Structures are given as C-alpha cells and as structure tokens.
C-alpha cells in the first residue's frame, strides 16, 4: 500500500503555558478535524444498532423478535472481532507514516462498509447470502473503527494543549457519543415525520447507511487539510526506526494495563448505548417512540457531561475520576439496571439512565487521554489502539449478545452482575494506576 506524502507538522507556540488566540485556534481546528471522522465512524456503527429493530427481519425472517435481535447482535459483535486487526494495522502505519494518513484511510474504509449495508439485498432476494454480506460489511466497519480509535485518540493528545488535554478528551468523546445521537435523531425524524413503521421495515432502514457513506466521503476530503502532529515529526527525527509492532511489544506491560483500564468502562459504555435501546424496548416495554426519545435525551446529557468531567481531570488529575467510576459503578450498576427493568415510565427510565451516565462519564470523558499518556510517541497509536480494540471486542461488542443470551435463557439479571463484575475488575487497575496527568509520557519520543 502506497502511503500519501507526509504533510507538514502542525506547529504550535513553543511555550507550554501560552494561550494566545492564534495558538488556540490552530489546536481547536486540528482537534475538530480529527474528531469529525470519529463522529462519522461511530454514527455508522450506531446506525446498525439503532435500526436493527427494523432490518432484523429482512435478514433473519424466521424466529421471534428476541431471536432476530440476537442474530443481528452476533453480526454486530463480528465487527468488534475485526477491530484488533484494525488497531494493529492502522496503529502500525500511523506510528510509521503519520496520524493524518491513517485517519484518511480509516474513514474511507468505513464509507465502503456502510455503503455495502445500505445496498445489500434482503434474505427474500438472495437467501443466506444476505446475512453473509451483512457480516462482511460489519467486519470492514470493525477494521476501520479499530484503526480510527487509536489513531484519532493519539492525534488528539498530541495536538491538545498540555494543560487542557482532559477537557479536549471530553470534547473528543462528545463526537463519539454524538455519532449515536445523530443516528438516534435520524431514527426519531424518520419515525415521527417521514416514514411509517412498515416503510421503515421495508426499505427505510437503508437511509442511514447511505447517508453515513456520503458523510464519510465528505470527512475524508476535509481531512486532507489536516496537518501532522509535531510530536510525530519530532519522533521521526530521533526514533524513526523504533516504531511498529516489535517496538510496541517492549511496552507489553503498559498494553496490559490499557486492557485492565478498559474492561469496565467499555462494557458500561455499550450497556448504556447500543444495548439500551433494545433493553428499553424488549425488557422495559416502552414503545418505539418512547425508546428513541429516552435514548436521545440521555445522550444529550451524556454529551454535556464529557468536557465538564474532562476539565475536572485537568484540575484534579485523571485517577480520582477513574476511581470514582469504579467504586460507584460497582455499587450501583445492579440497582440501576434492576430498577430500570421494573419501571414502565419513560420519565423514570430517562432519569435512571442519566444517573448511570453521571457515573460512567468518569471513565468515558478521559479514557482517550489516559491511554495516550501511557506511551511514548513512537508507539502511541499502536499502544493505544491494539489493546483497546482487543478489550472492546471482548467486553464491549459482545454486550448485546451476552445480555440477549441471558434474557433468552430467562436469566436477564445475570447480565447486571456481569456488568458489575467488569467494572470491579477495572477498579483494581484504577487503584494501582499512577495518575497519568502527573506521570505522562507524552513528551517522550521513544
């Protein structure tokens, strides 16, 4: 694969404490360009989850609704199985050839995967070929997303002001949650203003994937204006031949630490995002409109929380937020989900999910920067992307499948204990983790 010519480095004020307007504008523009693709990537992923309630029968015509959702959830998880390959491939090339190049490639791969889903014939047309093509498309999306996360998080960390990295990590995560919000908002518009439920199930579910593919093309064009980070160009001068998988393996203990940090947060995140729509519909018993409205409101609150929590980490450190998430998540995940399961009120459901986000945001708002601060520049994209993708594929992408499998077996509450256990495991790592704000390796090139 031929790599594009490396762009010039994005140079900022040499004074770490300088907050002049020009310097700030450069940083903000770079972060927004880097985050824009992140939003599109996650929009495409969440579009699959949000609209699966409508297209499941098109690919799996036989079986009850729970079994159909379980089948689409297994395919959803297949994309996560592919994410480590994306983290390895894109992370290696991002550390070798630059963050900008790989951010452009990742969003174009997502475009192809989304377009494939939007154009795939149904089971009635091509039989078993339909779910096979759907699986291939999800695998392509998974490879793309695995590459996007580590590279995008690395680029964010390297261009953000040292004293505002937590805040911009929260801004970056706003785009991640914003991807789902865009998918849910589109669903709400289609449900209430444009299409009937029958039309959504017949062909309307294709609309978000066509839109996602078009947005990915636009984002790729915008990313051509991105500049390379100064951290990367400096690293190339002193450690050009010390990047790649072999160099990253010298930091295997730190990569294992990333796994431990991620387990609880990724399981909690997917519980309250991709799975929550199915949970509200199939377990709580809300209508389609109520489900979409509850998820939309809770995501709006979650977006607001991210930069606020990130700013707190800039002032008080990363570790207090992580430990708070670990303790509160361990104590309250089971009570929150149990109470949510038993309520039939959309208002109470909204308040409970917002309460959950007030806990989970202690992890989500700073997860990108915490991982980036653990590694030197020459292996940062691979060091962040690969272990995160592995953990997300095992404990994040399988949330829907695990939860629905417990429900199908008549033991739905077992999933609540499972989610609690994942958070408790991460809490042990948070307690042992040095505060990366005060012990950062951001300025180390190798």
- The pLDDT of residue 20: 59
Phi and psi at residue 302, to the nearest 5°:
-60, -40
- Span 276-286, pLDDT tens digits: 888 898 888 88
Within a domain: 4 = no
- Span 324-379, pLDDT tens digits: 999 999 999 999 999 999 998 999 999 999 999 999 999 999 998 999 999 988 88
Identify the CATH number of the domain in which residue 386 sits: 1.20.1250.20
pLDDT band at 76 (very low <50, low <70, confident <90, very high): confident
Q: Is the dihedral of CA 344, 347, 348, 354 positive or negative?
A: positive
Which has more confidence, 60 or 419?
A: 419
Q: Which of 91-100, 241-250, 348-357 has the highest average model confidence (pLDDT)?
A: 348-357
Within a domain: 35 = yes
Within a domain: 438 = no
Contact assessment for residue 399 and residue 271, using Cβ atoms and an 8 Å cutoff? yes
The domain tally of the chain equals 1
pLDDT band at 228 (very low <50, low <70, confident <90, very high): confident
Q: Where are the alpha helices (DSSP H) in 317-345?
A: 319-342
Pair type for strands 9-10 and 228-229: parallel
- Span 192-214, pLDDT tens digits: 888 888 888 888 889 999 998 88
- Span 102-153, pLDDT tens digits: 888 888 888 888 899 889 888 888 888 888 998 899 999 889 988 888 888 8
- Tell me how crowded residue 428 is: count the other CB atoms within 10 A of its CB: 13
Within its chain, how far is the Cα of 425 from the centroid?
20
How many helices (DSSP H) and strands (DSSP E) are in the chain?
Answer: 19, 2
Within a domain: 236 = no
Q: Which of 80-89, 333-342, 393-402 has the highest average model confidence (pLDDT)?
A: 333-342
- Span 404-413, pLDDT tens digits: 889 888 888 9
Q: Where are the alpha helices (DSSP H) in 240-318?
A: 245-249, 252-271, 274-279, 288-316
Mean pLDDT, range 139-168, rounded to an integer: 87
Within a domain: 319 = yes
Residues 47 and 185: their CA atoms lie apart, in Å, by 10
Residues 142 and 75: their CA atoms lie apart, in Å, by 11
Within a domain: 350 = yes
Within a domain: 347 = yes
Contact assessment for residue 212 and residue 117, using Cβ atoms and an 8 Å cutoff? no
- The pLDDT of residue 24: 66
Contact assessment for residue 255 and residue 84, using Cβ atoms and an 8 Å cutoff? no
Q: Domain of 411? A: 27-225+251-432
Within a domain: 441 = no
């Amino acid at each position: 694969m031929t790599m594009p010519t490396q762009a010039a480095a994005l140079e900022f004020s040499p004074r770490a404490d300088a907050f002049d307007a020009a310097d700030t504008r450069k940083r903000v523009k770079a972060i927004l360009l880097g985050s824009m693709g992140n939003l599109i990537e996650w929009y495409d992923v969440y579009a699959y989850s949000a609209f699966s309630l409508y297209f499941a029968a098109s690919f799996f015509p036989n079986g009850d609704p729970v079994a159909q959702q379980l089948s689409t959830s297994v395919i959803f998880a297949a994309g996560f199985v592919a994410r480590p390959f994306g983290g390895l491939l894109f992370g290696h090339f991002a550390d070798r050839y630059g963050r900008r190049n790989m951010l452009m490639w990742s969003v174009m791969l997502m475009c192809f995967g989304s377009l494939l889903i939007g154009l795939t014939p149904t089971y009635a047309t091509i039989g078993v070929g339909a779910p096979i093509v759907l699986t291939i498309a999800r695998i392509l999306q998974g490879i793309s997303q695995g590459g996007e996360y580590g590279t995008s998080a690395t680029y964010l960390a390297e261009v953000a002001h040292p004293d505002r990295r937590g805040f911009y990590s929260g801004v970056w995560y706003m785009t991640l949650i914003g991807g789902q919000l865009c998918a849910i908002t589109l669903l709400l518009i289609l449900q209430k203003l444009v299409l009937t439920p029958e039309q959504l199930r017949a062909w309307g579910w294709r609309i978000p994937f066509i839109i996602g593919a078009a947005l990915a093309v636009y984002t790729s064009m915008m990313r051509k204006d991105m500049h390379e980070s100064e951290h990367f160009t400096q690293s190339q001068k002193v450690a050009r031949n010390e990047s790649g998988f072999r160099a990253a393996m010298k930091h295997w203990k730190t990569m294992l630490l990333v796994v431990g940090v991620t387990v609880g947060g990724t399981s909690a995140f997917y519980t309250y995002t991709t799975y929550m729509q199915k949970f509200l519909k199939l377990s709580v018993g809300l209508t389609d409109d109520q489900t979409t409205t509850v998820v939309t409101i809770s995501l709006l609150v979650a977006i607001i929380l991210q930069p606020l929590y990130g700013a707190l980490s800039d002032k008080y450190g990363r570790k207090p937020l992580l430990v708070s998430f670990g303790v509160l998540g361990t104590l309250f995940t089971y009570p929150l989900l149990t109470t949510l399961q038993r309520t039939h009120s959309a208002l109470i459901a909204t308040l409970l999910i917002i309460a959950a986000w007030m806990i989970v945001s202690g992890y989500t708002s700073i997860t990108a920067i915490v991982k980036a601060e653990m590694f030197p520049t020459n292996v940062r994209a691979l060091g962040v992307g690969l272990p995160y993708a592995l953990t997300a594929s095992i404990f994040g992408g399988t949330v829907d499948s695990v939860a629905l499998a417990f429900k199908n077996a008549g033991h739905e509450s077992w999933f609540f204990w499972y989610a609690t256990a994942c958070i408790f495991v991460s809490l042990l790592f948070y307690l042992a983790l040095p505060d990366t704000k005060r012990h950062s390796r951001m300025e180390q090139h190798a």
